Amino acid sequence: MGLLSTLRKQKLKDKEIRLLMLGLDNAGKTSIVKRLLGENVHEVSPTLGFNIKSVSYDRYTLNIWDVGGQASLRPFWRNYFEKTDAIIWVVDASALDRLHDCKSELDKVLDEDRLTGAGLLILVNKIDILQSTKLREQVLHIVTDTLQITAIKNHNCNVVLCSAYTGENLTEALSWTTTEVKKRLYMFD
């Protein structure tokens, strides 16, 4: 039996899902992970390199690889692509002026063969600063259009408005991601 077969069987046995969390710097990736772990989201410093945290959800262990988003770190993102089951791409709702940079970086990630087929969850973070439902809908529309979500073909994709600060919609985000990966990898579960 080959090494890859052994690793795949172990993964199925352990019910592990590998999530790669990416996005531009200051989008709130680490804050989201901290909120999911029940940690203080008020004391967060920029991620230099990466952090790996595990969250139990729906009988699965979600191993979240939180990778720094500074421009100097982005060329190294490709080092984390192997065995990724789903990508969580975090967008800062308070920095829409950076959406074109965000689109450019997302396109580079989605062009990577090693990520073909991985689920794609786009979290539009920091919606707690958007006071009205209408404003939230406008931001969602702008993000969806600018990132050209409907043109993404090699990934099941979903966009969720969320807040690391309040925890809003993070459970829904985990639910979608887990369900998406289960459909592809754990068909007989």
| Domains in the chain: boundaries | 16-57+68-185
**pLDDT, position 179:** 95
Distance CA 123, CA 29 (A): 9
> Where in the sequence numbering do the catalytic residues fall?
70
**pLDDT, position 103:** 98
State the residue for tokens 């408005």.
Answer: 161
**pLDDT, position 62:** 96
Among 47-51, 133-137, 145-149, the range scoring the smallest mean pLDDT is 47-51
Q: Do 115 and 87 form a contact (C-beta atoms < 8 A)?
A: yes
CATH of domain 16-57+68-185: 3.40.50.300
Task: Indicate the angle between helix axes 99-110 and 133-146, nearest 10 degrees.
Answer: 50
Does residue 69 surpass a pLDDT of 90?
yes
Does residue 189 surpass a pLDDT of 70?
no
**pLDDT, position 2:** 52
**pLDDT, position 143:** 98
**pLDDT, position 48:** 82
- 102 CB-near residues (< 8 Å, 6+ apart): 23, 24, 91, 146, 147
Name the percent of the chain lying above pLDDT 90. Answer: 81
**pLDDT, position 9:** 46
**pLDDT, position 187:** 61
Does residue 78 surpass a pLDDT of 60?
yes
Q: What is the pLDDT averaged over residues 127-135? A: 94
